[in-house]
A = this chain, B = another copy of it.
Amino acid sequence: WCSERGPSDLLHACPCPGGDRMLGGHSSSSTDPCFSSQLKTTTTAAISKDFTEDRIWLNGREEDVGQPRLQACLREIRRLARKRRSTGDGDALPLSLGYKVHVASVNNFPTAAGLASSAAGYACLAYTLARVYGVEGDLSEVARRGSGSACRSLYGGFVEWQMGEQADGKDSIARQIAPEWHWPQLRVLILVVSRWARSRNGRTVAVRSPTLQFRAESIVPERMKEMTRCIQEQDFQAFAQLTMKDSNQFHATCLDTFPPISYLNDTSRRIIQLVHRFNAHHGQTKVAYTFDAGPNAVIFTLEDTVAEFVAAVRHSFPPAANGDKFLKGLQVAPVLLSDELKTSLATEPSPGGVQYIIATQVGPGPQVLDDPHHHLLGPDGLPQRDL
Q: How far is the CA of A255 from the CA of B245 in the complex (A)?
A: 9
A 196-254 contacts with B by CB, 8 A: 200-201, 207, 209-211, 214-215, 218-219, 241, 244-245, 248-249, 251-253
Contact indicator per residue, chain A 45-70, by CB within 8 Å of chain B (1) or not (0): 00000000000000000000000000
Q: Is A342 an interface residue (CB 8 A)?
A: no
Residue A36, interface by CB 8 Å: no
Q: Render A5-47 as a binary contact track against B, CB cut-off 8 A, 1 for contact.
A: 0000000000000000000000000000000000000000000
Stretch of A162-170, A260-268, A330-338 contacting B (4+ beta carbons < 8 Å): A260-268
Tell me which of B219, B245, B253, B273 contacts A252 (CB under 8 A): B253
Question: Is A259 positioned at the interface, with any CB of B under 8 Å from its CB?
Answer: yes
Q: Does A77 contact B (CB under 8 A)?
A: no
A272 lies within 8 A of chain B by Cβ: yes
Contact digits for A255-290, partner B, Cβ 8 Å, 1 yes 0 no: 111111010111001001100100000000000000
Interface size on A, residues (CB 8 A): 32
Q: Give A residues with C-beta under 8 Å from B.
A: 200-201, 207, 209-211, 214-215, 218-219, 241, 244-245, 248-249, 251-253, 255-260, 262, 264-266, 269, 272-273, 276
State which of B249, B259, B269 has its C-beta within 8 Å of the C-beta of A256.
B249
User: Closest Cβ of chain B: how far from A269's Cβ, in Å?
Assistant: 5
Nearest neighbor of A204 in chain B, beta-carbon distance: B276
Residues of B within 8 A of A251 (CB): 255
Q: Which of B218, B255, B264, B273 contacts A248 (CB 8 A)?
A: B255
- How long is the Cα–Cα vector from A256 to B264 in the complex, in angstroms? 14
Q: Which residues of B contact A219 (CB under 8 A)?
A: 210
In contact, A201 and B273 (Cβ under 8 angstroms): yes
Bound-state CA distance A210–B214 (Å) is 10
Chain A interface, >50% SS class = helix
- Complex CA distance for A259 and B274, rounded to whole angstroms: 11
State which of B214, B215, B256, B260 has its C-beta within 8 Å of the C-beta of A272: B260
| Contact, CB under 8 Å: A248 / B269 | no
Q: A245-B258, A252-B256 are in contact. List 6 more A-B contacts (CB 8 A).
A: A210-B219, A211-B252, A244-B258, A248-B255, A248-B258, A252-B252
CB <8 Å contact, B201 and A211: no
| A256→B265 contact, CB < 8 A | no
When chains A and B are docked, how far (Å) is the Cα of A200 from the Cα of B348?
A: 13
Report B-chain residues with C-beta under 8 Å of the C-beta of A266: 265-266
What are 9 sample pairs from A and B whose C-beta atoms fall under 8 A apart?
A207-B245, A211-B252, A214-B214, A252-B255, A252-B256, A255-B255, A262-B272, A265-B266, A266-B266
Do A256 and B248 contact each other (CB < 8 Å), given the known contacts A215-B211, A266-B265? yes
| Closest beta carbon of chain B to A317's beta carbon, Å | 16
Shortest A201–chain B CB gap in Å is 6
Asked if B201 and A252 sit within 8 Å, CB to CB, the answer is no
**Separation in Å of the A234 CB from the closest CB of chain B?**
22
Residue of B nearest to A241 (CB): B258
Measured CA separation A264–B272 after assembly (Å): 14
Whole-angstrom distance between the alpha carbons of A252 and B212 in the complex?
11
Measured CB to CB, the nearest residue on chain B to A210 is: B219
Question: CA of A297 to CA of B319 in the docked complex: distance in angstroms?
Answer: 33
Alpha-carbon distance between A200 and B270 when the two chains are bound, in angstroms? 11
Chain B proximity of A302: nearest CB distance (Å): 20
A-B pairs with the 4 shortest C-beta distances?
Answer: A252-B252, A252-B256, A252-B255, A248-B260
